[in-house]
Homo-oligomer: A and B are copies of this chain.
Amino acid sequence: MKLGIVDTTFARYDMGGVAINTLKNASPHVRIVRYTVPGIKDLPVACKKLIEEEECDIVLAFGMPGPEPIDKQCAHEASQGLIFTQILTNKHIIECFVYEDEANTPKELISICEDRARKHAFNALRLATDRNALIKHAGKGLRQGKPDVGPLKG
């Protein structure tokens, strides 16, 4: 299994590094290719290149949009591109974006980055190895970056 990590120089935290550490600990033999691009809108083609030129089975795409409306629009365009790339390649790209205004302090933001990167690294491992791995968690209100909210209680 070969796993791609794509991240940006725009982001203010090294989520790609967190994911790589997580993956190496969890699955020492997984092959990892990393690719860093300037900004979030460069992610889709970078993912496509890792899938088609490096034969990655799955890719994790990290980005950290700034707090301005234009940043959110860029993230929206990037997400559309990531979805489109997945559809064309039949490979998952797990999008792991952290918005700079998700938290009130840098410390809290870092904690979101680490939790989200780590949990999505596990999600990528599971999806790439076993299509049935997540069925038992369906509808369970899992969250990445923050604690799970759990299923509805009616």
Identify the A interface with B (CB < 8 A).
7-17, 34-38, 41-42, 44-46, 48-49, 52-53, 64, 70, 73-74, 76-88, 90-95, 99, 105-107, 109-111, 113, 120, 123, 127, 131-132, 134-135, 137-144, 149-154
Contact = CB atoms under 8 A, between A and B. Distances in A.
Contacts of A53: 90
A76 to B, nearest CB: 6
B154 A45 contact: no
Contacts of A152: 12-13, 106, 109-110, 113
A35 B141 contact: no
24 contacts: A9-B134, A9-B138, A10-B141, A12-B140, A12-B141, A13-B152, A14-B138, A34-B138, A37-B92, A38-B123, A38-B134, A41-B79, A42-B94, A44-B83, A45-B87, A76-B77, A77-B80, A81-B83, A81-B87, A83-B84, A84-B87, A87-B88, A109-B154, A110-B154
B87 A14 contact: no
A37 B144 CA distance: 13
Name the residue in A35, A78, A131 with the highest tally of chain B Cβ atoms < 10 Å from its Cβ. Answer: A131
Instruction: Indicate the member of A7, A78, A138 with the most B CB atoms within 10 Å.
Output: A138
